[in-house]
Amino acid sequence: MTETARINEILERFPQIKRNALIPLLQAIQDEFGYISETAIGRIGDHLSLPTSKVFGLATFYNQFSFASRGQYHITICNGSSCHMGGSGELLSEITKMLEITDGECTRDRLFSLEVQSCIGACGQSPVMAVNDKYYAGVEIKELRAIIKKYRKDASG
Amino acid sequence: MHPDKEFLLKLAQGFIPEPSDEELKYLALLNRERVTRPLVMVNSSISGVVAGARETWAAIESYVAERSLDIELCESGSIGLSSEEPVVSVQMPGKTRLFFSKVKAENVHSLLDDVIHHVIPEQMLIGQLRREGQEAWPDVPFLDEIPFFSLQSRVLLEDCGIIDPFSFPEYVARGGYRAFLQTIRSQTFSEVCDLVIRSGLRGRSGGGFPTGEKWKSAFETASDQKYVICNAEESDPGAFMDRTLMEGNPYQLLEGISIAAYAIGSNRAYIYIRSEYKDAIERITRAITELRSMGLLGDNILDSGYNLQISLRKGPGAFVCGEETALIASLEGRRGMPASKPPYPTQSGYLGQPTVVNNVETLANLPLILKKGADWFRGIGLPGCTGTKIFSISGRARISGLVEVPMGTSFGTIVNEIIGGVNKGRTLKAIHVGGPTGCMIPPHMMDIPVAYENLKEVGLVMGSGGVLVMDDKTCVVNTVRYFMEYVDRQSCGKCIPCREGTRRMAEILGGITRKPADDEGQTTLERFKGVMQLEHLAAVMKDTSLCGLGQNAPSPVVSTLKYFRKEYEEHIFDRKCTSNTCSELRTWYIDVDMCTGCSICAKRCPAEAIIGTPTHPYFIVQEKCIGCGICYEVCKFTAVYYK
Amino acid sequence: MGIQLEVNGSLIEAEKGETILSALNRNGLHVPTICSMKGLSPTGACRMCVVEVEGRENLVPSCSFPVEEALKITTHSPRVLKARKINVELLLSNHPDDCLYCERNGSCELQSLAENLNIRERRMPGNKSPYKIDRSSPAIVRDPSKCILCGRCVRICEERMATSALDFAYRGNELRISTTLGKPLNFSNCIACGQCLLACPTGALIEHVQFPELDSHLHAPGKVVVAQYTTAVAVSVAEMLGKKPGTDMSGIIRTVLLRYGFDHVIESSLGADVMIMEQVAVFQERKKEGSSLPLITSSCPAWVQYVEQYFPELIPALSPLKSPQQIGGSLVKNWLPEIIQAGDKEIVSVLISSCTAAKNEARRVEMTSSGIAIIDYVITTRELARLIRLSGLDLDHLEEIAPDMSVPGSGTAGNLTGVAGGEVEATSRTLYHHLSGKDILPSKLHRFRVNKAYREMSIKAGKQELRIASVSGLSHAVKLIEEIKAGKRSIDLLEVMACPGGCTNGGGQPLPVDDHLIRIRSKAVYDMDNGANIQEAHKNPHVIKIYEDLLGEPGSKVSRDLLYTTFTKRDVLL
Ligand SMILES: Cc1cc2nc3c(=O)[nH]c(=O)nc-3n(C[C@H](O)[C@H](O)[C@H](O)COP(=O)(O)O)c2cc1C
Ligand code: SF4
Ligand code: SF4
């Protein structure tokens, strides 16, 4: 199915043209594609009779929406207070050093992308990070290096 | 087991005052007082999952399959011991339930082997749950005898981690839904408001606004359509009270929401929940579906003439959307920017209609208040500040987790006694309560009874319940800077004092925790200029910001300037972080004995602060060093160290 | 029912339901504001208007706080002043320090706030903004580092102009004003009307200045620089030169420009008159075709672009004519050279206009003639005022140079195109003459002069009954167009001006603007017209000569080649 067809299919799920459908709609698009494309913004604006600047303005307000596709391995790092105290800041700068990406970015080979998340509520296991769906608790720098190495290997082999 | 709907509904409505023996037996099965085969429960909520509960679950499944055992495996919420996850409980027929901590996949085998053969594996054991009619395990402490639990009053959390959150029958069998169903039959809207006013229940999100009064105001505003919104944004980092309540006992919350909706005469309620809370979302969604199929949501609920719809909306992630007017804006499909009050949401809220916004914990109290009465509730806590409060403890605490205590219990009791203070060998430096816009409390202030007014009198707050424990290895200035940077990112940006004020403060604090000349080339003098303004700036931010975020954003700074001024002075004048947390303030040295003179550090130093000749020990010129620590990382001979 | 408030110790009357700010203002009490703007929805964002209200813990924003009986208010206590001062200091702490080079130097609201609050030192230095200047649009330059995020541009673009090219994006320390996906303005749905420039308190939104580029052409051998200026400019520039608002500065403009080095100066009303002649021909042709849609004017370049983006289905209804200024440009390049015997010298055609969209328009390929722009530079009223000041001439003792080719008296009907409703008023005169052979009494058309966004009247000319209407302000225009499309209104000739009030309120006009000033400017245009010897386009001797020399008759092949244009649907994210 083409992108537009998939977008249209999602739009059909939101028949009422009300502004309060905007966020659920964007969430559906984000879930489907992993990001919100220019085409999607245009189609949503059209569907809800909203200027696209409002759609963009709204989407950028919230953490959940991104405008570039994710990498094969999406790394999330919790930056809650407990994780911060546990050293999530150091993990972050290590990732930035290793992969040359910061929050919201993706490596050029599209292997890794990084997202800093606000507290996920697992404060007992800080610092917490996740790669795609797999969580890692109490991560230390050395472990982080090993984790990234492992996924690199997975991808090439 | 599929309990029949009619029986459940009768039970829920209190139509079975004197159950027959047959029915009693059935009930005991439903509420798991009695099990016919071994029951294994795994806490599958996020704190468990992060610690490996999924792997544990899989290990249990394969253990059971390999041996073709007849065991019931079931998910549960958390009992509140977050640092002890994955928590697994096992109930053998006839016996009390046993709780075990840190059950990783590799431990499953030995644990189950032991328990099934009635042996108790000591090292993982937490304790056993006291239940009448069940045979206790010998020499095993009851949970309510362990300090962590014994000093708490688990009213809201009573069933969390113990019941199956997916099971409506279990909730009903434990007395659930009676409060709501009897209320809509026998009480008027305003009677419910009055009852809640009498109970003295106050909003648990931090402000302590009397819940009944809020309802009354919405009830008295004339309108055809009113709304109740359950605020499940739980945006403070380090807070997980609401999440645990939703994951551990979703029906309790839904019953509470139903009561609130009835009290203000509304038939439309929303739960605005953080999209990150995937498990809570799943549980609530399933519970709503279940309630609809039972006829407890929808039109004309059990022929009472009362209609109610509850829908769940996922908050797309913004701290400020915890603020009620911002939350409403977000529900309406706009940027989550707070609006000026007045008008208050109870007059003009969602879509311009009267709207009550209440916190999850507040709402979870209602089934209990209605069931047990206002007087029972007033009996807990202090006069004027009744009931219990849940705190989520994290940071450098010996035990991280959820603690529910009567209002009026001091932070000292919570921290020193219930969770056992900080880790061995460390000393308690402070606790930070109320999240990024909260305040830091030094040990000598921790005896104050926790109640809204008592704390306010001395310029402190209770916050929504997040408590970050700090020991001597944590840095006050650094933590405050973290919170300020957080608020700076999270401010909606609408008003100047908050948007610009938090940014300036974050920059000023950043300057303090860095070496003299930073990337932006700020000199000591420039930074110092800002420091002198911190207090003025804080006053103006509090005075002129539009919403609570900006008004309270300076409070970590204000409270620490008051109680931990010395640490600021050390950072500013001595450029020293005694706890060694501010990495950029570290002073680096090269150990002459370890250094082989390979010169890599000198090559990599961005400030050209390392001098020496190859094959001889190198030396760091402190005046040039910017404290980045690259030398430490590149040295292969661990010759670089800091003080 | 009145409510009594105590303000700074004295009692004032307020009306139920109003805000403290409006009560204060009505009673002549002033508190500073940034984000509030008359006629736009209040936001309560800037906190500059805070006052002390007895019994309230925090200061309250007077712009959004409703009055209550017996409120005790203090507007300038030390606490309030400190709050205002620190908030302005916060805005300044990372503001670029280039006031001296800033377009808005002298007309900047931030500057005057800082001055009024006696800010003399940067007490809280902040990190500089990382955003780049957007110069992509030929009309508008956006410098986010100077933006104080008051949101006035956002609201004006949405509420008045129904465009919403700009909105707030991101939040907290990343909050900024942005187009969809942060595209450069020229690739967005911005129509360059420039209303946001009028709304912006600082230099964050300014016109794309062209007048320094002009300098190299003046006095250059082999070049003839011809300027045409519009009526809206003539009646507005006085405001920036310390003269009484509404003074007609035509003579001074002409003289200064010629002294400054321009070779010829003409009035845009000439192009407007020719446009009117052609418009009448187009109108009759459309009537003959029996079109159900009104003939919609295409004089306003912002409106034209709006149609191309939002209502491409209406393109056939647009008048195929170029705008008056572009027609003027065509004349400058195609007719004037003969008259002034320019020989093989290159003609540089300059437009001085109140319109920022005209800068965009000048770059449209549809407007070029064999690939060459017919207007080379467009400068705004504000740029003109600067040029006049730069000339150093003493305006009070200036000996005016006789006009090149303007009509004796003060111009002709074309002048009216400077105000909303003016184009249809002027066109109606010629149209009436055309249909009935008689002149209409000008005062019969004064319905087009009422101070309303929508003006309409029926005219009986000969056997025909015509409905003619004018609308200004895009939000009003959009509503009207929807009604027309729904068949709820039938109109024969419709004038649309994007800017509320028409060109006298164009994006290039002097600052600050307010409704009162716009009325004064419009009145000046009407005064010009009332005092004119010739009030109809078809009687303008220059027009007659142009048709004799060049065009033949309205709608001729030459006219079509030179004065008509085409429109195309534009695909941008709306
Ligand atoms: C910045 C800010 C964040 C807030 N976050 C939350 C939150 O995460 N959860 C919550 O229940 N209330 C939050 N509140 C409080 C709400 O505005 C509102 O007062 C509350 O939901 C009312 O519930 P209660 O009366 O039951 O306490 C927040 C307030 C502010 C100013
Ligand atoms: S105080 Fe901060 S979060 Fe609240 S409205 Fe103002 S800018 Fe937004
Ligand atoms: S660009 Fe100007 S008008 Fe728009 S928000 Fe910024 S300062 Fe205000």
CATH of the domain at C456: 3.40.950.10
Indicate which residue's Cα is closest to atom 8 of ligand 3.
C150
**d(CA B323, ligand 1 centre) in Å:** 5
Give the residue range(s) of CATH 3.10.20.600 domains in chain B.
Answer: 381-471
Does C150 share its domain with C16? Answer: no
Domain boundary pick from C153, C176, C207: C207
Residue C219 lies in a domain: no
- Numbered residues of chain B with Cβ closer than 8 Å to any chain C Cβ: 318, 320, 335, 339-340, 342, 488-497, 499-504, 506-508, 520, 522, 526, 529-530, 532-533, 536-537, 539-540, 542-546, 551
Q: What CATH number labels B31-150?
A: 3.40.30.10
Name residues 479-508 of chain B within 8 A of A (Cβ). Answer: 479, 482-483, 486, 490, 492
CATH annotation of B381-471 = 3.10.20.600
In whole numbers, what is the pLDDT of chain A averaged over residues?
91
Measured in Å, residue A27 CA sits from the centre of ligand 2 at 25
**Domain hosting residue C31, numbered range:** 3-89
Q: Select from C36, C145, C202 the residue to mutate for testing ligand 3; criterion: most ligand atoms less than 8 Å from CB.
A: C202
Q: Are residues C275 and C153 in the same domain?
A: no
- Cα–Cα distance for residue pair C536/C274, rounded to 1 Å: 11
Query: What is the rounded distance in angstroms from the CA atom of residue B534 to the CA atom of residue A51?
Result: 41
pLDDT band at C410 (very low <50, low <70, confident <90, very high): very low
**Residues C184 and C229 placed together within one structural domain of the fold:** no
Distances (CA, A) of B505 to B213, B511, C58, C59, C90: 37, 10, 20, 21, 11
B429 lies within 8 A of chain A by CB: no
String of DSSP letters for B233-288:
---STT--HHHHHHHH-HHHHHHHHHHHHHHHT--EEEEEEETT-HHHHHHHHHHH
DSSP C108-151: -HHHHHHHHTT--S--S--PPP-PPPB--SSSEEE-GGG-----
The CATH code that applies to domain B180-378 is: 3.40.50.11540
Structure tokens of B216? 């009354």
Give the count of domains, chain C: 3
Indicate whether C214 belongs to any domain. no
Tell me, using a 6 A CB cutoff, whether residue C153 lines ligand 3: yes
Distance A65 CA to ligand 2 centre (A): 21
Structural domain contains residue C167: yes
Residue C112 domain-assigned?
yes
Residue whose CA lies nearest to ligand 2 atom number 8:
B492
Last residue of a domain, one of C63, C89, C115: C89
For the residues of B580-593, what is the DSSP string, one character each? S--GGGPPEEE-TT
**Residue B38, preceding bond cis, omega within 30 degrees?**
no
Say whether pLDDT at A30 is over 80: yes
Asked if residue C313 and residue C407 are part of one domain, the reply reads yes
**Quick one: C538 and C413 in the same domain?**
yes
Atom of ligand 3 nearest to the CA of C196: 3
Class of the domain covering B476-574 = mainly alpha
Q: How far apart are CA B207 and CA B339, in angstroms?
A: 18
Residue B555 contacts A, CB cutoff 8 Å: no
**Is C96 within the bounds of a domain?**
no
Give the model's pLDDT for residue B526: 62
Contact yes or no for C256/C398 (Cβ under 8 A): yes
Q: Does residue B499 have its Cβ closer than 6 Å to ligand 2?
A: yes
| Rounded Cα–Cα distance for residues C492 and C468 (Å) | 6
- Note whether C393 and C430 are same-domain residues: yes
The answer to whether residues C442 and C411 belong to one domain is yes
Q: How far apart are CA C407 and CA C108, in angstroms?
A: 39
Look at the block and give the residue holding tokens 């402070």.
Answer: B430
- Mutation test of the interface with chain A: which of B84, B394, B476, B477, choosing the one with the most A Cβ atoms within 10 A? B394
What local confidence, expressed as pLDDT, does residue C411 receive? 61
**Same domain membership, residue C385 and residue C277:** yes
Chains that touch B (3 or more CB pairs under 8 A): A, C
Let me know how long chain C is. 574
pLDDT of residue C338: 85
C164 contacts chain B (CB < 8 A): no
Collect the ranges in chain B with pLDDT lower than 50.
1, 519, 521
Domain contains C218: no
Q: Which of B550, B361, B553, B330 is nearest to A63 (CA)?
A: B330
**pLDDT the model gives residue B524:** 57
Evaluate whether B591 touches B619 at the Cβ level (below 8 Å): no
Interval C89-107 mean pLDDT: 92
Contact C52, C20 (CB under 8 A): no
- The answer to whether the Cβ–Cβ distance between B540 and C50 falls below 8 Å is no
Closest alpha carbon within chain A to B402: A124
Backbone angles phi, psi at C45, to 5 degrees: -95, -35
Please tell me which of the candidates C164, C168, C170 has its beta carbon nearest to residue A51: C164
Cβ-Cβ contacts under 8 Å between A and B: the total is 137
Tell me if C569 is assigned to some domain. Answer: no
Each as own residue / partner, the long-range contacts of residues B569-574 (CB below 8 Å, 24 or more positions apart, any chain) are: B571/B477, B571/B512, B571/B513, B572/B512, B572/B528, B572/B531
Nearest to B536 by CA among C56, C75, C86: C86
- Domains along chain A with CATH numbers: 3-61 (no CATH), 73-156 (3.40.30.10)
Query: In chain C, whose CA is at the least distance from the CA of B546?
Result: C45
Query: Where do you find CATH 3.40.30.10 in chain B?
Result: 31-150
Q: How confident is the model at residue C95 (pLDDT cuts 50, 70, 90)?
A: very high
Cβ–ligand 2 distance for B495 under 6 Å, the answer yes
Does ligand 2 come within 6 angstroms of the Cβ of B549?
Answer: yes
The residue among C24, C25, C123 whose CA lies nearest residue C73 is C24
Closest-CA distance, C499 to chain B, in angstroms, reads 28
Query: Which ligand minimizes its atom distance to the CA of C171?
Result: 2
Mean of pLDDT values over C338-363: 92
Residues C232 and C271 in one domain: yes
| CA neighbor of B224 nearest in space, from B315, B353, B106 | B353
Q: Is the CB of C205 under 6 A from ligand 3?
A: yes
For C41-57, what is the mean pLDDT? 90
Give, using CA atoms, the residue closest to atom 4 of ligand 3.
Answer: C153
Residue-wise pLDDT for C138-168, tens only, equals 999 999 999 999 999 999 999 999 999 999 9
From the list B50, B313, B466, the residue facing A135 with the nearest CB is B50
CATH 1.20.1440.230 domain locations along chain B: 476-574
Ligand 1 atom nearest residue B239's Cα? 8
What DSSP element (H or E) covers B370? helix B366-372
C286 lies in the same domain as C411 = yes
| CB contact at 8 A, B347 and A72 | no
* Residues C325, C465 within the same domain: yes
| Residues C357, C320 within the same domain | yes
Final residue in a domain of this structure, among C207, C241, C271: C207
Residue C415 Cα to chain centre, angstroms = 16
Strands (E), B92-226: 97-100, 125-128
Model pLDDT, residue B542: 94
Interface test with B, best of A27, A61, A67 (most B CBs within 10 A): A61
Q: Indicate whether residue B355 lines ligand 2 (CB < 6 A).
A: no
Answer whether 0.80 is exceeded by the pTM. Answer: yes
Chain B residues with CB inside 8 Å of C174's CB? Answer: 489, 493
**Would you say residue C570 lies in a domain?**
no
Candidate from A21, A22, A81 with C-beta closest to B468: A81
Does the domain at residues B586-642 carry the CATH identifier 3.10.270.10? no
d(CA B52, CA B48): 6
Which residue of C lies nearest to B487 if distances are taken between CA atoms?
C172
Which residue shows structure tokens 């200045």? C209
Q: How far is the CA of B388 from the centre of ligand 1 (A)?
A: 18
Whether residues A61 and C170 touch (CB distance < 8 A) is answered with yes
User: How many Å apart are CA A135 and CA B48, to the nearest integer?
Assistant: 10
